[in-house]
Every structure is written in C-alpha cells, then in structure tokens.
Amino acid sequence: MPITGLDLAEEIRALKKERRAVVLAHNYQVKEIQEIADFVGDSLGLSYQAAKTDADVIAFCGVHFMGETAKILNPGKRVVLPDLDAGCSLSESCPADELAAHLEARRDKNYYVVAYINCSAGVKALSDVICTSGNAVRIVEAVPKDRHILFVPDQNLGAWVTEQTGRQMDLWKGNCYVHVEFTRNAIERVKFEWPDAVVVAHPECTYAVRILADEVCSTEKMISYCRDSSADTFIIVTESGMLHRLRREIPGKTFIPGPTDHCACADCRFMKMNTLEKLHSALLHLEPEIVIPEAVRARAELPIRRMLELSA
C-alpha cells in the first residue's frame, strides 16, 4: 500500500531521529519539504547551518551545488540529496575545465576570482572567494583594490554588484534560466494591475527588470524586507517556492508571483525535482550521496571559509 502524505511526513520525522539527520531546505523547495525541514533559508543561511551542524547526516533539499557546499564543509559527514540530478543552469554554464583554460589564457591579468556559490566544487576550487546573493556586495568590497576581478558564473548578479559598489569586474556569461524569463513588459503589466504593490526582485534578474524593482535582494532578505515594510502587497520576482515561505511567515500581507511573458509560474525545474518521497528514500537508504575527490574538496573549502569569515 502506498504511504500517504501524512504517514510519509511521520516516517521522515522518525527517520531523522534514527539517523541523527538534519534536513536543510532552500526557499525554493516545495511546500511539503519546507514544512518538514529543520531549517529553510537562502544559500548563505544554509551554508552557515551546514558549517555548524553536529548531525551525522545532512539531507540537503536543494540543488547539487548546495549539497556539495555542505559536503565541502563537512567531509566526515554523509550528505544526501533527494535527487542527484537536481542541477542548476548557472552552475552548468561554467564548467571547471573551461574556467581553468580561461584563467590560463589570461595569466597576465592575475585575476582574483569571485565565484557565486551557484557553481560546482571544481569551480570553487579554482576561486579566491565565494559569495552568495546575500553577501556579494560585501565580499566584492573586500577584494584588494589592486586586483582585477573575474566574477563567475552569473553576469546579472555580477552587473548588479558593480552597480552597487562601483567596482569594475570581468563577468562570466552565465545566467539563471528561471530569472531571465522575467521581462520588463511582464513586470510593467503586473505593476499596472497592482499599482500600490512593492516590487521585490532577485539580483539574478536582468537589468531591465531590476530597475523596475523597489528592492533587489537575496531570498532571505525578501522575508525581512516584506515583514518590515509598511506596504502590504508585494510582487515577488523570483522562483515560485519563495511565495510559500513568505505567505507562511507573513500571513497578513499579499504576495503576487512576478509573471513572465507566458505565465506566473516561475518554477526551477531542478529545485522541484526533490519530493517528499525522494527525501524519505534518501533518509532510509542514505543515498544518493554527495562524493567529492578530497583534493578538490580541500581546495574548495578555502574560499568558502573565507566567505563565511568575511560575512560573519
């Protein structure tokens, strides 16, 4: 007999105890996973949680690079991801061998590589410091002034950081396939329908969309911004899972999904690969597991630790 939603949630809770596991979930996860997780947050908050946990097992409900980050910080722990195929278009846009060749071909630049956390362990291992959307401005401001910066892999986040800091950087030409779907026309249309609404957008959006926003910030900052704002209606221009967290934690306010030209359904297909059933199976079988060659892991840990120190 198939396990029902309720039983499944109960079984996951029991398995969590039995395995001494912690469930970390990104803000874009489906509602059922957010509700059972021990911590729900953005990439920065999840990195801090991964760095401080004393659990034996980390069940990471997010995408592959997030599970890898947890494993890099916890080589002695088992890190499982409900679906190992949950990738990220940004991470895919910057393969480690291409970055290595790019750096080799431009040795004269002596680049300081700032890597957005949405990249593979191999790319992290080639970087000087990691950043997330929550701390990118601070991290870039801390780079020695005499160094050329290469920012990988998100050109939109990189351009936004330059707008904020005035610091010129060479940008890798990657983007998030979900956030570039939001267009100026679609956001203007929804603003017209909700003239009093405040527009909150993720920095992975294009410039044409960012300039229409009242606030551009990480997914975690969206929570505090909307809670503290005197407005009560918000157009949220990011992945759809964010709406669940906002509505759950700020029940008195109205959150409207930012539309694209086709729909108001900005789902990240990678984030949505994780389901309650797959989380249950991951805790039961302790796989699929994240495995990283030790040399890569050890080198990738340095820029992550640097980020955690700089944004503490």
Question: Which residue, 85 or 309, is less far from ligand SF4 as judged by CB?
Answer: 85
- Decide if residue 69 touches ligand SF4 (CB under 6 A): no
**CA dist., res. 287 & res. 291, Å (int):** 11
Residue 219 CB, nearest approach to ligand 13P (Å): 4
Residue 31 CB, nearest approach to ligand 13P (Å): 17
Question: Which residue, 27 or 74, is less far from ligand SF4 as judged by CB?
Answer: 27
From ligand SF4, ligand 13P, none, interface partner of 43 (C-beta below 5 to 8 A by class):
ligand 13P
Residue 155 CB, nearest approach to ligand SF4 (Å): 12
**Helix ranges (DSSP H) in the chain:** 5-19, 31-36, 43-52, 64-73, 89-92, 96-105, 121-124, 136-141, 155-165, 184-193, 207-210, 219-228, 241-249, 276-285, 294-310
From ligand SF4, ligand 13P, none, interface partner of 218 (C-beta below 5 to 8 A by class):
ligand 13P
From ligand 13P, ligand SF4, none, interface partner of 181 (C-beta below 5 to 8 A by class):
none
- Decide if residue 63 touches ligand SF4 (CB under 6 A): yes
Tell me which stretch binds ligand SF4 (CB under 6 A): 50-58, 156-164, 228-236, 263-271.
263-271
From ligand 13P, ligand SF4, none, interface partner of 132 (C-beta below 5 to 8 A by class):
ligand 13P
Q: Which residue in the set 213, 239, 259, 297 belongs to the binding site for ligand SF4 (CB under 6 A)?
A: 239
Tell me which stretch binds ligand SF4 (CB under 6 A): 102-110, 143-151, 265-273, 290-298.
265-273
Tell which residue, 129, 25, 20, 82, has the closest CA to residue 278.
82
Tell me which stretch binds ligand SF4 (CB under 6 A): 11-19, 72-80, 82-90, 280-288.
82-90
- Decide if residue 180 touches ligand SF4 (CB under 6 A): no
Question: Contact 77/114 with Cβ under 8 angstroms?
Answer: no
- Decide if residue 177 touches ligand SF4 (CB under 6 A): yes
Residues 6+ apart with CB under 8 A from 248: 34
From ligand SF4, ligand 13P, none, interface partner of 270 (C-beta below 5 to 8 A by class):
ligand SF4
Residue 304 CB, nearest approach to ligand 13P (Å): 14
- Residue 83 tokens read as 């679906």
- Decide if residue 88 touches ligand SF4 (CB under 6 A): yes
Using DSSP, state whether 257 is helix, strand or coil. Answer: strand
Question: Which residue, 82 or 134, is less far from ligand 13P as judged by CB?
Answer: 134
Read off φ and ψ for residue 268, nearest 5 degrees: -85, 115
Q: What is the DSSP code string of 99-145? A: HHHHHHHTGGG--EEEEESSS-HHHHTT-SEEE-TTTHHHHHHTS-T
Question: Contact 266/178 with Cβ under 8 angstroms?
Answer: yes
Return the bridge partners of 289, or none: 80
**CA dist., res. 309 & res. 307, Å (int):** 5
Q: Which residue in the set 69, 74, 89, 156 belongs to the binding site for ligand SF4 (CB under 6 A)?
A: 89
Measured over all CA atoms, what is the biggest interatomic distance in the chain, rounded to whole angstroms? 65
Residue 75 CB, nearest approach to ligand 13P (Å): 23
Instruction: List residues near ligand 13P by CB under 6 A.
Output: 27, 42-43, 118, 132-134, 176, 202, 204, 218-219
Using DSSP, state whether 182 is helix, strand or coil. Answer: coil
- Decide if residue 33 touches ligand SF4 (CB under 6 A): no
Residues 6+ apart with CB under 8 A from 71: 58, 77, 79, 121, 290, 291, 292, 297
Q: What is the DSSP code string of 258-270? A: PP-SS-S----TT
